[in-house]
Every structure is written in C-alpha cells, then in structure tokens.
Structure 1
C-alpha cells in the first residue's frame, strides 16, 4: 500500500477535499450517536440486574450465567464488528447504524422469550452482533466533524453514553422491578404467560425499533459533500499494522486490559451488593446506576477537555499519557470499593473510580482516529472492538466467575473483583506508557511510519 511521504500534510479530515461541516451539525451528530449508544448499553447490561431470577427459572449455573453475560455477547460482537467496519468504509454510515440498532433491539426482545440456556445464548448473540455497529460507526464519523485538536472533547461527550447506558440500565431495571416482580408470572391478555424478567426484556427492547430511525437524521459528510474515500481492504490494514506494531500492540493491549476490569465490575457488582451487603434489586439498580453515571458524566468531559488542551499545546502523546496516569490512579480506589463495610461508602467509591478511570472510554480511540487514514477508520475501530468483544466483553464476566468459584463460591465475588482490578489496572497503565514513543514519532511526521 502506497504511503504518503512524511512531509505531505494529510488534510485534517483525512479525506482530500472534504471540509468540516458546521460545528452545530457535528454536535447534533454527537447527540444522536449518544442516544443510540446509551440504548445499546442499556440493552446489553440489563441481564446483569436479573441474574438471580433467571438462574432460578432456567436452572443455570454461575458459569452459564457468565457465558451469557460474556461469551454469547462478546463472540458475536466480534464477528459482527469486522463486516460492519468494511461496510462503514464503503456505504452510507447512517444506514449501517440503523440496521445495527434494529438487529440488537430484536435480540433484546428475544431474551424475553428465552426458555433455556441455548435460546438465551442465541438472543444475546443477536444483541452482540447488532451492537458492534455503534463504536466503529461513531469513531468513523466524528473525526470528519471536528479537527484533531478539538476531537477529544466531543469524543468524550459521546463516550459518556457507554457508562450512562450502564447506569440507566440499572436504574430502569431496578424501577421496573418495583412494578414487575422478576420471579412472578404474568398473564398477557390470556394469550401467554410470562415471567416478570421476560416482560422486562420485552418492555426495554421494543422502543429500539423506533429509535433506530434517528440514525437517518445524521448527515454523512462523505455523502453530503459527494466525496468518496479511497478503497482499502483488511489486507492493507494488516500491512499498516505490521509497520507500526510498536504503537498498535501496546495501545490495543492497554485498552483491552482496562476494559476487562470495567466489564467485570459492571457485570458482577449487582451480585456483589446483593450477596455481600444484602441489598435488594430495587435498591441496587438506582444506587449503582447513579454512582456509575455521575462519575462518568463528570469525569469524561473533564478528561477530554484537559487532553485536548494538552494536545493543542504540542504534547502529541497527551491522550495516552493522560489515560496511563488515570488508570494507575484508579487502582487503590478499586481496592476500597470491596474493603469498606458500609455499602453507601462503597457505592461512593464506585462513583469516584469511574470518575478517575473514565478517560479510557474516549482518549485511546481519539488518538487512534487522529492518526488513522480515513479509508481505514471504520476497519481500525472494528478490529479494536472485535478484540475487546472476544477478550474483554466476552471473557471478563467469565474470568470473574472463574476466580469467584476458585476463591470459594458466590460469596467471594467481591474478593474476585478486587483481585482482578489490582492485577490488571497497573498492567494496563504500563501498556499505554510503552506506546508513547511510537505515537510521538507518528504525530511528528503526521503519517504512519
């Protein structure tokens, strides 16, 4: 693949002749993408709040529940991401996003009809395949609306949807359990009998079929300005990665590790508060949702603004240097979450943890998209998401479940989460730090070396 020379200035959008749209259009796009991503995370995480009634009704083991939360979703999240990345670099991105939202909404509703492990597995796989669209779609679009020195802040605002969606899923799920008892049976117009948890999945999944059409409110700059991106396949992407592995490998590894901790916490913290602190589902949902959401809403825009300011002053490795420091700083807070005896203090520390660490949701992908040629943005985001889909989203819940069982069973879930956090977070910070020399070199030449 032909490479631009180091002296050749690549246009800010990465697409020759493609001008930035008006800023208000960029922020409108951020709002739409945030709404749809919040919906995706809501649908994804609802299962975590309903673990106990589902286990009781379907007779599932701890490992099977871990597989439903992890492998069933993560494997197909990975499989869906690669063709989605290919489609995003070639076709209308709003159309591809609409299709993904529709698919995952059908999967959420299918969870409400599951009768056994394998039907539930298929429904979760459908959710994973559809939800793989939002990360690559958003990361591909936003660099064409905002210049590099101002990209971190909108990417951070958008990324709040990931944790806000988790918080909303706990809050909405907890609120619904006040009106619909998850373990009770309900007659639906004399046509069918549903368990409460099944009804909750159906109620949460249905609106997505309508909200999917919000994607068509986005104006794709490539289409609206009648510009085409130069075609490049995954073979071209592999060659570029081989030439720049000193940046790509530690960058991807650092993000994989910190995401593994976040996914494990998100999946098993409801069970921790129920088993260890004796809180009810109705108490856990709003409280945990508030802690995660508030910490992320405050932290992410702050991290994005600070990183943008640092980057604009000439610190070309600002995004990764910043996230390495905050990831390491979050480790002792994670320790406190599971050691304090008071659940209120524990929940407050959970909010503080996500406030400190939340930069991982936006800053690593921001610098990746800044240095990435436009014809590879969708594929680069999809590969990154595919890796996280299998190893993070797929493996983290199962990893925590396995460590929990090795430590003595269900009551050891807090010890398991604490151990995983203390081991993995410092390794993540180290990986980001190892990528700093290469990202400085890439940014110095404004092209891939």
Structure 2
C-alpha cells in the first residue's frame, strides 16, 4: 500500500527576490486577464436591454464564447511553452486579448459580441501554461504553493478591478451619455467600458520585457511529443483525472459566482450596475486574496510536513466550508448579510484554487509541464467556465425567468461544490503515488 507521506527534506531551497519579482509580473498579467474576462459580468443588464437577448445567451457570452478557442488553443500553446521563450508567448497573448476586449466595445449585436469574446479566450489561452512553467522553473517545490497563490490572487484582484474600476468607468460614461469614438460615433456606456478596460494590458505587455526567461534543465533526451504527454497521463490516470475533476468543479464554483454576482444584486436588491460592481468588487477585494493566500499557505504546510498529496485536503476543506455560506448568500433578504455571505463563499472557494494549479506542477515532470498544464487548463476551463455560467442561465430560464436566479445559483453551485469535495478526497491516494519527486 502506498504511503501518502514522506519525510521532509533536511535542506529546503528558497527562491530569491528576482523570482518573486517575476511572479508579481505574472500575477499582474493574471489580474488584467480577469479584468478583461469579467468586465462582461458588470454590463449584463445593459447588454441584455440593448441587444434584446435572454439569460441563456448572457450565460453563453460569459462562459461558452470564452472557452471555444481557449480550450482549442491552450494545448498547442502549452506545448509551445515547452519549446520556446515562455515570456514572449505571454506578451503576445496579452496583446491579443487586450485588442479583443476593445473589439467587444465595438460590437452592436449578439453575434459580434460573441465573436469578440471568442478572441479574448484565444489570447488568454497563452498565459497560464507558460506562466506556470516559468514559476516551476523559478521556485522550488517547498515554495510553489505560495508562488501559485500569488498568481491566483491576481485573478481575484482582477475580478475586483473589473467590478470596481469598470463600475466607475461605466458610471462616468453613463453620466456623459456615452463615449465619442471617432468614426464609430458615440459608443454606449457599456461599450466604452470595454474599450477603456482594454488599455492596461498594453502597458503590462511592455513591462514584461523586463522579465528574463528562466533556464530549462539540460537534457539529452528528445523533446517530448503530445503522445508522450498523453502516455504519461494515462499511466497515472487516477491521479490526473480525479485531481482535474476536483479542480474543474472548483473553477465552476468560483467563476459561476463571479459571473452572476452583479446581476444577482441588481435584480434582487435594486442596485445599479456601478453600485453592484462596487459592492461585490469590495467584498472580493478582501475575501478572495485572503482565500488564495490561505490556500497557498496550507498547501505548502502539508507539503513541508511530508504529505505527498497536499492538494486534496485543501480543496476538500475549501469547498466543504463554501456550501453553507452559499445557501445563506442566495436566500438572505438582508443586503449586508448577503454580501458578508458572498464574501465568505468566495474566501472558501478561492482557498481551494492554488492547490488545484500547484497540484498539477507536482504531478508533472519539467519536460512535460507546459503540455500537461495546458491539458489541465483546457479541461477545467471548458467545464468550469464554459458550462457553469451557461448552466445557471439556462436553469434560470427553465425555472421561470429572471426572478429565479437566486434559486438556480444555489442549486447549481451547491451540487457542483459537493461533487468537488468527493473528487478531491478520492484523489488523495492515487495523487500520492503519482507525484514527482522534488
């Protein structure tokens, strides 16, 4: 029987300040990617009114459109990250998704907006496999949980920036009656918001040239093929499939709550879009980074205490604690209590996030890390983002319309989180057997 613990190393290597500088830049890239991804959630109601679309279509715009090219492109881009300069891949991706976000603001129909969102997903597919590969090259196993938690914290801060900053821009443009935009005439406030929020990505792309590409281990072996990566996964299929399943349901929990949160408060507490963005963004700004950092700390703590399966207990604990506060969030009639519960569910759900990404780095050897991370991301993004928001929108329509959003969110997300707990617990022993050595 395989043991799930191993004695900790006598000497624990440490990453230097430059490694943390690069990690910070990558975290900023993750932040901006989530700004451009989640500004859509802020403007759902004006988009619904202007374009005359249903909740199911809003769900498609938030999730399905984004994942179509993301899931197709992330695997070849991950394989590319195993072969060429990872920093340059990230810079190119930032430029693409920033331009695509601006194009969202020029859309005048559901089809045009859907197409622009597809291009956003294509650009963002370049980031995480290359960033995770760089971090795994810069950081020792004993610090990878905290490094990844800094990266995933960028995602939550990006949601806050999208909601708070985007809300401020939306309010300003609403007061101004729109945004003059040369030959395109005057853009509606929601359209101008996309254009303004696309600008920070270009500045970061320039700044990222200051990050050095880390050296790769010297090996005489031929570069691995996709078939090599797939054989590696199949030889450890229980560990990979169970961990990836738990991660996908973790992503679905987090992203579905983020996608529908502003609309929830607009519909049930009569907040304006900027008010909802400020309220939710402020809550996420506090709760989610604390959740990410706590999850990274716990993952490293289990690792340093000798566990060879440190991800599973962190994922299971976070999602288990998220379920009761999710129910409070969706049923409370008090705005204050609902916001506190929304913050709590975000804290617990995001606590599980660093362990999901760090776990893949523990299962993957360096020569396959970009490819395996991209396979992992393709699966978790397709399920978590592609299915989650759309499923809530469809369930809301099937249950009777917009007034059923609270019930559909509680039911869908509650079931998803419970499934994530079960898969995480089931993954513990096979993960311990499959984890690569430090």
Q: By the TM > 0.5 criterion, same fold?
A: yes
Alpha-carbon distance between aligned partners in 2 of 1:182 and 1:396, rounded to the nearest angstrom: 34
**Residue 399 of structure 2 is aligned to residue 407 of structure 1:** yes
Contact 1:160 1:296 in 2 (8 A): yes
* Residue aligning to 1:111: 104
What is the CA-CA distance between 1:193 and the residue it aligns to?
Answer: 2.1
* 1:385 paired residue among 352, 356, 377: 377
What is the CA-CA distance between 1:191 and the residue it aligns to?
Answer: 6.5
- Structure 2 residue runs of 5 or longer lacking an equivalent are 1-12
Contact 1:229 1:375 in 2 (8 A): no
* Residue aligning to 2:27: 34
Cα RMSD, aligned residues only: 2.0
**Residue 376 of structure 2 is aligned to residue 372 of structure 1:** no
Alignment of 1:280-295 (within 5 A): 280-295=272-287
Alpha-carbon distance between aligned partners in 1 of 2:190 and 2:348, rounded to the nearest angstrom: 34
Q: TM-score scaled to structure 1, two decimals? A: 0.90
* 2:162 paired residue among 155, 161, 169: 169
Contact 1:335 1:418 in 2 (8 A): yes
Alpha-carbon distance between aligned partners in 1 of 2:130 and 2:220, rounded to the nearest angstrom: 17
Contact 2:295 2:353 in 1 (8 A): no
* 2:257 paired residue among 253, 265, 269: 265
Residues 52-96 of structure 1, C-alpha deviations (whole Å, 9 max, x = no match): 111222222222221111111111111121121011010000110
- C-alpha change, 1:27 and 1:342, in structure 2 (3 Å) is same
> Which stretch of the first structure deviates more once superposed, 337-346 or 353-362?
353-362
Q: TM-score scaled to structure 2, two decimals? A: 0.93
* Residue aligning to 1:130: 123
> Which stretch of the first structure deviates more once superposed, 54-63 or 247-256?
54-63
Contact 2:240 2:431 in 1 (8 A): no
Alpha-carbon distance between aligned partners in 2 of 1:54 and 1:351, rounded to the nearest angstrom: 26
- Structure 1 residue runs of 5 or longer lacking an equivalent are 1-19
Residues 172-194 of structure 1, C-alpha deviations (whole Å, 9 max, x = no match): 11111221119944444687221
What is the CA-CA distance between 1:384 and the residue it aligns to?
Answer: 1.2
Alignment of 1:41-56 (within 5 A): 41-56=34-49
What is the CA-CA distance between 1:109 and the residue it aligns to?
Answer: 0.5
* 2:417 paired residue among 417, 422, 425: 425
**Residue 149 of structure 2 is aligned to residue 121 of structure 1:** no
- C-alpha change, 1:182 and 1:371, in structure 2 (3 Å) is farther
Residues matched between the structures, number: 426
What is the CA-CA distance between 1:370 and the residue it aligns to?
Answer: 2.0
* 2:315 paired residue among 317, 323, 329: 323
SS in 1 for 2:215: helix
* 2:192 paired residue among 199, 209, 213: 199
Contact 1:89 1:229 in 2 (8 A): no
* Residue aligning to 1:239: 231
Residues 18-58 of structure 1, C-alpha deviations (whole Å, 9 max, x = no match): xx895111101111001111000000000111111112222
* Residue aligning to 1:93: 86
- C-alpha change, 1:219 and 1:426, in structure 2 (3 Å) is same
Alpha-carbon distance between aligned partners in 2 of 1:309 and 1:264, rounded to the nearest angstrom: 29
- C-alpha change, 1:88 and 1:344, in structure 2 (3 Å) is same
- C-alpha change, 1:182 and 1:148, in structure 2 (3 Å) is farther
SS in 2 for 1:74: helix
* 1:440 paired residue among 412, 426, 432: 432
Residues 246-298 of structure 1, C-alpha deviations (whole Å, 9 max, x = no match): 10111111111121121111111111111111111121111101111211111
- C-alpha change, 1:368 and 1:182, in structure 2 (3 Å) is farther
* Residue aligning to 2:7: none
* Residue aligning to 1:7: none
